[in-house]
Structure 1
Amino acid sequence: MDGQRETGVCVIEMSERKKGIDSGAIWGCRRMEIPDGAVFPTLRDELAVLGGQLLVSTLRDMLAGKDTRTPQASDPNAPRAPLITLQDCAVDFRTMTADAIVRRHRAISHQKPMTTLLKTQRTLQLHDPSVFVDPPSEVTEQLSVEGAAIFHPPTKSLVVRCANHTYLSVPMVRQQDRHILQAKEWWNGVKPEMRLVEGSHGPIQFIPFEAY
């Protein structure tokens, strides 16, 4: 989510609960580079395989008397991974670039999809977003502000202007209290009051949650 390029697995000795979670000595560790475009489910599965291999290797070393045990330094101020909240999935196109939104989607969408807010005060989940590199001028010229979006037939997706003149492509959405839809199906039902300038044509506008 924050652009880290490396992850890994460890075999950690169980310790008393009062000493903290994952605070025991480390018996083994393996690092893994995070592949481009990795999402949580696939990364989880790859780490599960790596973790299984590490556990077998560690147990064999124990049986052979070749194991090593490295105590962890005690640091009461060490940061803890926070719970994922609704605030984490709230998209603010004024401050978030397309790349930042996609990274966050890859990290937490298995729990909470990226979500934005329509001018009608209904939420809209953004499913399977990607960075739209070099969108055509006929698209960008219509998206005059961050949060403006329009349907782009060639890619069958919503294109949304994000911070720093970056653009997001969204092929599927789910409006509050509705089923998930292809972007074109949802776009066909857009109401005039959702648009950047109220009417029957033109881009829509997403607004920040603070305006809710």
Structure 2
Amino acid sequence: MNLIFAGTPIFAVPALEALLRAGHHIRAVYTQPDRPAGRGRKLAASPVKQCAQTHGIEIRQPEKISGEEKILHADAPDAMIVIAYGLLLPPSILAIPRHGCINVHASLLPRWRGAAPIPRAIEAGDTETGVSIMQMEAGLDTGPVLAEARIPIHATDTAQTLHDRLAQLGAETLISTLDQLARGGVTPQPQDNAGACYAKKLSKEESHLDWTQPAAVLHRKLRALNPWPVASTHWRGKTLRLWEVAPLDTRGGAGAPGTIVQADAAGIRVQAGNGMLTITRLQAEGGKILAAADFLNGHKPAIGDRLGDAAQSSPNR
């Protein structure tokens, strides 16, 4: 097919590469304008732009896509593939491609419409997720579904590991869906709006853990917030970022929520409101991400130390 591709983050790159391998012609790539990134705040190209540059594809980076109608009509695309582009497409754009605009969405629609379907699925305790290939319309992720593919959410999955699996699954499902679409073998299925829920964008304000919550809730939240904004807590007046956690331990303990009850090479075990968390990778303020064993070599948390807003260090620290 003659395609236009619109995407920005790394999640969209496997699909772009898969389209090229499958022999589709990518007439142009739309991606967000270069943005400041890193400590130096230098302008950085999006992962999709970098991929397009590698393959010599024309790159377009308008601040707004409204106004691109004339050039898109000239492209005469069979379809426009849209994956985490970051701009809403107006009806005047949606109507241009012969097969419309096709979106790869990282959830089983109508569950988790919106900006953050991957972390919200983990946070909610979903045991299954997947990708939906959707025919785009004016509403937010409301269009009919052309195809879907499912995978389990493992108890060890973080938003990062699940992201990587879904990116590959989305690429594979998109290719097979386009093959069927070309043969007229796709029947769009309307979404059941009664089952819809919204995956709001993550914020830094969500990162702080409330140790009075059950361990199961905190376990899901910690995994959902990796790689951003990363779960955090206070310890001895400074911030600890908590990157990874051992399998859930629902056994109780005698300490108050936030109390360190054990600290060894296996991890730092902390009492929650119901059960315990064992932190296996963490990061001191201004430091590197370390496995628990390495963290303990440079830091000496004492049994009985408290984490969180009510943090109180033991007298023998």
TM-score bin, normalised by smaller chain: 0.7 to 0.9
**Aligned residues of 1:95 and 1:163 also touching (Cα < 8 A):** yes
- Aligned equivalent of 1:159: 269
SS in 1 for 2:220: helix
- Aligned equivalent of 2:126: 4
- Aligned equivalent of 2:245: 129
> Partners in 1 of 2:212 and 2:250 — Cα distance?
19
**Aligned residues of 1:27 and 1:69 also touching (Cα < 8 A):** yes
Counterpart amino acid of residue 212 in structure 2: R
State the Cα distance separating 1:56 from its structure 2 match: 2.1
State the Cα distance separating 1:147 from its structure 2 match: 0.8
1:75-102 deviation line (CA, Å, top 9, x unaligned):
8xx54311112232211111231x3222
Q: Which runs of 5+ in 1 are unaligned?
A: 196-200
Identity, in percent, stands at: 25
Counterpart amino acid of residue 60 in structure 1: D
> Partners in 2 of 1:12 and 1:162 — Cα distance?
41
State the Cα distance separating 1:148 from its structure 2 match: 0.9
> Partners in 1 of 2:268 and 2:245 — Cα distance?
9
1:22-74 deviation line (CA, Å, top 9, x unaligned):
23222112222223322222222222232223222222222222221234466
> Partners in 2 of 1:106 and 1:147 — Cα distance?
18
> Partners in 2 of 1:106 and 1:202 — Cα distance?
25
Counterpart amino acid of residue 285 in structure 2: Q
- Aligned equivalent of 1:86: 204
* Aligned 1:19-98 pairs, distance under 5 A: 19-72=138-191, 79-97=197-215
> Partners in 2 of 1:134 and 1:72 — Cα distance?
37
- Aligned equivalent of 1:198: none
Counterpart amino acid of residue 242 in structure 2: L
The alpha-carbon distance between structure 1 residues 177 and 50, as it changes in their structure 2 partners (threshold 3 A), is closer
State the Cα distance separating 1:204 from its structure 2 match: 0.9
1:163-202 deviation line (CA, Å, top 9, x unaligned):
12x12112332222333344455446668xxx8xxxxx64
Q: Which runs of 5+ in 2 are unaligned?
A: 1-122, 311-317
State the Cα distance separating 1:132 from its structure 2 match: 6.1
> Partners in 1 of 2:145 and 2:295 — Cα distance?
51
The alpha-carbon distance between structure 1 residues 64 and 179, as it changes in their structure 2 partners (threshold 3 A), is closer
SS in 2 for 1:54: helix
The one of 173, 176, 198 aligned to 2:285? 176
TM-score (norm 1): 0.73
Counterpart amino acid of residue 277 in structure 2: L
SS in 1 for 2:278: strand
**Aligned residues of 1:170 and 1:183 also touching (Cα < 8 A):** yes
- Aligned equivalent of 2:23: none
Deviating above 4 A after TM superposition, structure 1's stretches of 4 or more consecutive aligned residues are: 184-191
Equivalenced residue count is 189
Higher relative contact order (CA 8 A, sep 6+): 1
CA RMSD of aligned residues (A): 3.2
**Aligned residues of 2:265 and 2:293 also touching (Cα < 8 A):** no
> Partners in 2 of 1:124 and 1:148 — Cα distance?
14
